[in-house]
Amino acid sequence: MSGAVETSSPRIAEAGHWGKDVRSDVHVIFEARESGGIEISLESRVAPYYGSAILRQAREVLDEIGVKHARVAIHDEGALPFVIAARIEAAARRVGLALGKRSLPEQHPLPAPSPKDRLRRSRLYLPGSEPKYYINAALHGPDAVILDLEDSVHRAEKDAARILVRNTLRAVDFGACERMVRINQLPLGLEDLAEVVGESPDLILIPKVERPEQVTEVDRMIGEIKARNGIIRPIWIMPILESALGIENATTIVTASENVAALTIGLEDYTADLGVVKTTEGRESQYARSRVVNAAHAAGVQAIDSAFGDVADMEALRRWGEASRAAGFEGMGCVHPGQIRVIHEAFAPSAAEVEKAQKVVAAFEEAQSKGLAVVSLGSKMIDPPVVQRALKLVERAKAMGVIS
């Protein structure tokens, strides 16, 4: 059951979820009062073990956000502290309290800054309102996780989801995964940025981009928040093109900011904009995907393909991934952990490709050591573009763990 604002009084609000299919979440009913202090009730299967800790945390959160008088009912479904804090804060904000105040969980050490050209073969979408997916996401080994505030979050839950995602960035260790956040379409996405950028996500995905001004507006706001918070690490941007107009403006969009690290396409919305059926062969989107690849490579950034929606058909996914790599994409989205291994295999160079590239690199290095401008392999002359392609392939193969 959901905690959307459906109450008879403006002084009562809810946040979070509960029910037999809910786990790792908590449902909070918050009633603001003029007096009477703080009154908290708790229902939890783990109350004999953690009840006192949950109640203590609830009081600490209320104190941090400046709430002095309230009745709070908590229905716990195994939520961790960062989720409990987010749900209480969201419920308090929904009755008009705690505005401008935050209850932030303990900061987990930040990972190393994300390189602009790091591996982005797979990015796993995680619904921004569903904490049950967060804790074990890194165990599946995606190159990135996307905390999604857009399509996977009901419009009535946008406010609570951005608080939860903010706390998740602070409290959850995603290991080697790049930590991405997909904000909402502008202007709503600016509210998302205000909540999450201070927690140093590695990359912001901007949906439904059609004009370069949308990128510059996001870039400007990120820069302002970074400056206020003393953040010096990079926060990259990945625009998502999801319409015919966005595709036609691909070049100006991808070059709108030096902080754009990659360009991607959203095929569900793109094909809907064209009024055509999205197929597993992708003929209907070949032009658009080629435009994305060309614009990205011309700008010196990565081209990333759309997600593949059929989570049951792994062979179709493999074919799509292999065709995507052949077209010039360097990765794609995934909506289920089971897709990650297949995607990584599809985007990995074959043994024959690696062997040939290593021979070209060895010939290049030998020519360099002898001061020769011409590279030859056997009886063939090797052109500079072939050398550059081989160098990049070997470098990526090493990053993927294909070769040491």
pLDDT band at 1 (very low <50, low <70, confident <90, very high): low
Measured in whole angstroms, the distance separating CA 293 from the mean position of its chain's CA atoms is 21
- Reported as a pLDDT band with limits 50, 70 and 90, residue 4 is low
What is the pLDDT of the chain when averaged over all its residues? 92
pLDDT at 5: 45
| Per-residue pLDDT band at 396 (split at 50, 70, 90) | confident
pLDDT of residue 6: 46
Q: What is the pLDDT of residue 10?
A: 57
Please say if the pLDDT value at position 3 is more than 60: no
Give the integer Cα–Cα distance in Å for 375 and 328.
25
Please report, for the chain, the start and end positions of each structural domain, with discontinuous segments joined by +. 12-94, 122-346, 351-400
**Distances from the Cα of 241 to the Cαs of 39, 265, 295, 326, in angstroms?**
49, 5, 12, 20
Place 374 in a pLDDT band, splitting at 50, 70 and 90: low
pLDDT at 9: 44
- Residue 141 CA to residue 398 CA, distance in Å, equals 17
Class of domain 122-346: alpha beta
Look at residue 303 and give its three-state secondary structure.
Answer: strand
Pairing of strands 375-377, 331-334: unpaired
pLDDT for res 361? 81
Work out the average pLDDT over 117-126.
96
Query: Over the stretch 263-322, which tens digit does the pLDDT of each residue have?
Result: 999 999 999 999 999 998 889 999 999 999 999 999 999 999 999 989 999 999 999 999
Least confident range from 124-138, 338-352, 386-400: namely 386-400
Q: Write out pLDDT tens, residues 87-114.
A: 999 999 999 998 889 999 999 999 999 9
Indicate the pLDDT class of residue 379, thresholds 50, 70 and 90. Answer: low
Q: Is it the case that residue 370 has pLDDT exceeding 80?
A: no
Weakest mean pLDDT among 35-49, 122-136, 376-390: 376-390
**What's the pLDDT score for residue 352?**
84
What are the backbone dihedrals phi and psi of residue 95, each rounded to the nearest 5 degrees, phi first?
-100, 10
The pLDDT tens digits for 197-220 are: 999 999 999 999 999 999 999 999
Region 333-355 average pLDDT: 91
Residue type, 55: L
The span from the first CA to the last CA of the chain, in angstroms, equals: 50
Confidence of residue 8 (pLDDT cuts 50, 70, 90): very low
- The whole-angstrom separation of Cα 254 and Cα 238 is 9
Least-confidence region, from 153-157, 199-203, 232-236, 350-354: 350-354
Model confidence at 51: pLDDT above 60: yes
Tokens 């604002």, residue?
5
pLDDT of residue 7: 42
**In which band, very low, low, confident or very high, does the pLDDT at 247 lie, cut at 50, 70 and 90?**
very high
Q: Is the Cβ–Cβ distance between 327 and 290 less than 8 Å?
A: yes
Global confidence as pTM: 0.90
Confidence band of 364 (pLDDT split at 50, 70, 90):
confident
